[in-house]
Structure 1
Amino acid sequence: MAGCCPAPAAGGTPPGTGATDPLLARALALPPAPAALRTALAAELVAVPGGIFAMGARRARFPEDLDAPRHKVRVSGFRIAPVAVTNAAFARFVAATGYRTLAETEGWSFVFHLLLGPTAGDHPRHPPGLPWWRQVDGACWHSPEGPGSSTAGREDHPVVHVSWYDARAYAAWAGLRLPTEAEWERAARGGLSEKRFPWGDAFAPGGRAAMNTFQGDFPQHDSAEDGWAGTAPVTAYAPNGYGLHNMTGNVWEWVEDRFGALPAPARLPPADPRGPATGEFRVQRGGSFLCHDSYCDRYHVHSRGKAPPDSTASNTGFRVASNA
């Protein structure tokens, strides 16, 4: 698993499978939001037309991502949030339900070392070979850099330190769901065909940053030339052709599917493909503010990440979707 972008493995409670998964059962056990709020949340979603599109990359830079070869799939029409779930939206969910995320119940999460500033040395624990990820006791969605930090002033930033289970809990409460991987990529492409980014092929069109990624010398110095060190507001950059913001960069987004090989090219495009029925990892999409071309340029519309569903970190969030 890549170490700069997708979250490192948490090593927490081993997840189960399907109906035997206690973490999923816990996530889905919450009472639903009031009907009026569910209706309002559903109304915020944007329609994405169904159709056939070319999914994946022509050639993989990271073969282990299994994102090549490019192949056609058919996706039914659906609806998806124009932005990732924000700190403010997640706070409303927690206030209504009393839900505690896995980072809170486990007591820690991974934080990128530069976000800790001079206190990084106070948190020496890190995954093997990944010293830029620090295990910080008390780090969670409302205290992103650990005790003493908060989301004040970042209410419109994407919520982070959320596991796949936490994302499922929010979505179920809201009467929504996570997008499938094929839906996510269909949405991210914004109606464009075989382009690298939601807006085309240029990394910085017109010389201006179009997404929040890492600039400088990864992982030691982030020059923040795009205006942000860490997360950016969910509407910080222009939307794509479907009206969706930050489909690449900013935070990795959990999708519903388990990680596995994409559907093989076929004479007839597979309809509404889903990931494998079993597997250790769930898929993350879109890259994050830590992606950098010197090490982990997984900030393309076809890029894939993977992580155990119980993993949490300061660059992982999600957005919600629904049927058409």
Structure 2
Amino acid sequence: MRALIMMFISILVFSCKNEKQNTTGQEKVESKTDCHPAGGRSQILTSLDTTSNQSIATQKNDILISKEINTSNSSYTDTPDGMVLIPSGQFMMGAKGNLALRREYPRHPVKVDSFYMDSHEVTNAEFRAFVEATGYVTIAERPIDWEELKKQVPPGTPKPPEEALRPGSLVFTPPLQQVTDLSNYFQWWQWTNYTDWKHPDGPDSSIEGKDNHPVVHIAYADALAYAKWAGKRLPTEAEWEYAANGTLDDPIYPWGNKDVNALPYECNFYQGRFPNTNTGEDGYVTTAPVGSFAANGYGLFDMGGNVWEITADNFDEEYYSMLSTTAANINPKGSDRSYYSANPYAKFTVIKGGSFLCNDSYCASYRVSAKMPLETDSAMNHVGFRCVADISK
């Protein structure tokens, strides 16, 4: 599964590949290459060679036993601390212009009821409070069960090295050599043992001094567990996209139609030559503290860039084609199935918003309509989440 994660991560970052926009407000894609390989961590793990340059740590972390997670009501009468009110409304969901990724088509009308949304992505400090209260252990901190992993790869796939089945996650590692073939994401994604939310860049790294950065290396189950403990839930894809529009009328980006490369920068994204050199001209090479860039019209920070955000919906690349393009689709909750043709064995959820690795030359997924599949048991250092809550009636 984590091997799939690696492959999937590549896909994730690669699906953004060559989705370019111009300053006229018309979206344009110059490549029809999908950003996902056939799998996520499962594909990565089952392709690992312990003699390769993939990082395989040898230290061992203690695995805690999770306590029972408290349940609480996700409906509130008054706006909870740290959240903002998103008023009800209707919008056109999906891509406009000459986008090549069919998953964003066709555009369709959606109506959503009002709800509360976290003003920023869940931070390291907030996630630490959850872990300290519950003893929760994230997916990346757990050893990998080969019997479960086998279900997510083609029959007959050989078992990966035992070292690779230790706890770990995927880490973006810029290659030393110049990259000319951007379709081979194995050149910059590495499966790294003992990498998790507390050690985001490898086993020897830490989050000291990064309490206000978004928590990363979060899998779908981890986000669900936190949301339940916090008395909230994950947003639907429709809620997330509607909120990302802010108070603007059908913008390309959460901040409007201003080109992402124009100064001053509106989000944390990749400047320079991907994947070798991130110049960090926006002030950040990896994650930025939440709220480092201006909020959108609803008061939401980092709805574009910084980290991908997990939603509650299954990823189904044909889902939009099943929806009405004339009558409003009211509070859609996503497809009943998970369907991603590049990897029919694993289950995927929708992620939104792009990350610090998005770049117009490779991945321009800081667009409001952009979406990617995330293998549900995969985690990586550019994926996080935020929560929503219902309004009591």
Q: TM-score range by the shorter chain?
A: 0.7 to 0.9
Written as runs of structure 1 = structure 2, the 5 A alignment for 1:111-260 is 111-114=171-174, 129-204=185-260, 207-260=263-316
State the aligned residue count: 297
2:362 maps to 1:307: no
Which residue of structure 2 lines up, in the alignment, with residue 78 of structure 1? 115
Q: Distance in 2 between matches of 1:41 and 1:95?
A: 25
SS at 1:80 equivalent: strand
TM-superposed deviation, 1:306: 0.7
In structure 2, distance between residues paired with 1:308 and 1:205? 30
Partner of 1:267: 326
**Distance in 1 (alpha carbons) for counterparts of 2:207 and 2:231:** 25
Letter in 1 for 2:129: R
Look up the match of 1:25. none
CA distance in 2, matches of 1:85, 1:5: 25
1:297 corresponds to which residue?
Answer: 364
What letter corresponds to residue 348 of structure 2 in structure 1? F
In structure 2, do the counterparts of structure 1 residues 228 and 170 end up closer, same or farther at CA, with 3 Å as the change threshold? same
- In 2, Cα distance between equivalents of 1:197 and 1:59: 14
Please say if residues 189 and 197 of structure 1, whose CA atoms lie closer than 8 Å, have aligned partners that are also in contact. yes
Q: Which structure has the greater CA radius of gyration?
A: 2
CA distance, structure 2, for counterparts of residue 278 and residue 69 of structure 1:
19
* Alpha carbons 1:257, 1:274 under 8 Å: kept: yes
Letter matched to residue 108 of structure 1: G
Give the structure 2 partner of residue 45 of structure 1.
83
Q: Is the 8 A contact 1:45 1:79 kept in 2?
A: yes
Question: What is the CA-CA distance between 1:172 and the residue it aligns to?
Answer: 0.5
Structure 1 distance, partners of 2:106, 2:98, is 7
After superposition, what is the alpha-carbon deviation per residue over 1:85-135, rounded to whole angstroms, capped at 9, x for unaligned? Answer: 000000111111110100000310000003xx99xxxxxxxx974221111
Aligned counterparts of 2:197 and 2:301: Cα–Cα separation in 1: 21
Please give the TM-score of this superposition, normalised by the length of structure 2: 0.70
C-alpha spacing 1:112/1:137, structure 2 compared with 1 (3 Å): same
In the alignment, which residue of structure 2 is the partner of 1:68? 105
Write out per-residue CA displacement over residues 43-69 of structure 1, whole angstroms, 9 at most, x where no aligned residue: 3211101111111111353424x1123
For 1:302 and 1:52, how far apart are their aligned partners in 2? 15
What is the distance in 2 between the residues matched to 1:239 and 1:205? 18
**1:322 paired residue number:** 389
More helix by share: 1
Q: Is the CA contact (8 Å cut-off) linking 1:55 and 1:182 kept in structure 2?
A: yes
Alpha-carbon distance between aligned partners in 1 of 2:192 and 2:14, rounded to the nearest angstrom: 18
The structural deviation recorded for 1:205 is: 8.2
One-letter identity of the residue aligned with 2:225: A
| Aligned-residue offset at 1:266 | 3.3
Separation in 2, partners of 1:33, 1:129 = 40
User: Relative to structure 1, is the Cα distance of residues 290 and 206 closer, same or farther in structure 2, using a 3 angstrom cutoff?
Assistant: closer
Contact 1:42–1:176 under 8 Å retained in 2:
no
Residue deviations 1:211-250, cap 9 Å, x none? 0011101001101111100000111101000000000100
Task: Measure, in 2, the Cα distance between the counterparts of 1:301 and 1:58.
Answer: 11
Equivalent residue number for residue 168 of structure 2: 108
TM-score, length of structure 1 as denominator length: 0.85
8 Å Cα contact 1:239/1:246 also seen in 2 = yes
Asked if residue 4 in structure 1 is aligned to residue 13 in structure 2, the reply is: yes
Query: Which residue is equivalent to 2:150?
Result: none
Per the alignment, in what secondary structure is the counterpart of residue 276 of structure 1? coil
Change in Cα spacing, 1:318 to 1:5, as seen in structure 2 (3 Å) is farther
Structure 1 counterpart SS, 2:111: strand
* One-letter identity of the residue aligned with 1:308: E
Amino acid at match of 1:85: V
Check the 8 A contact 2:12/2:373 in 1, yes or no.
no
CA distance in 1, matches of 2:193, 2:288: 24
CA distance in 1, matches of 2:219, 2:352: 14
For 1:176 and 1:278, locate their aligned partners in 2 and report how far apart those are by CA, in whole Å.
24
Give the superposition deviation at 1:148: 1.6
Q: Is the 1:60–1:67 contact (alpha carbons within 8 Å) kept by the matching residues of 2?
A: no
Sequence identity percentage: 39
User: What letter matches 2:283 in structure 1?
Assistant: G
Cα distance change on mapping 1:241 and 1:132 into 2, 3 Å: same
- Over aligned residues, Cα RMSD in angstroms? 2.7
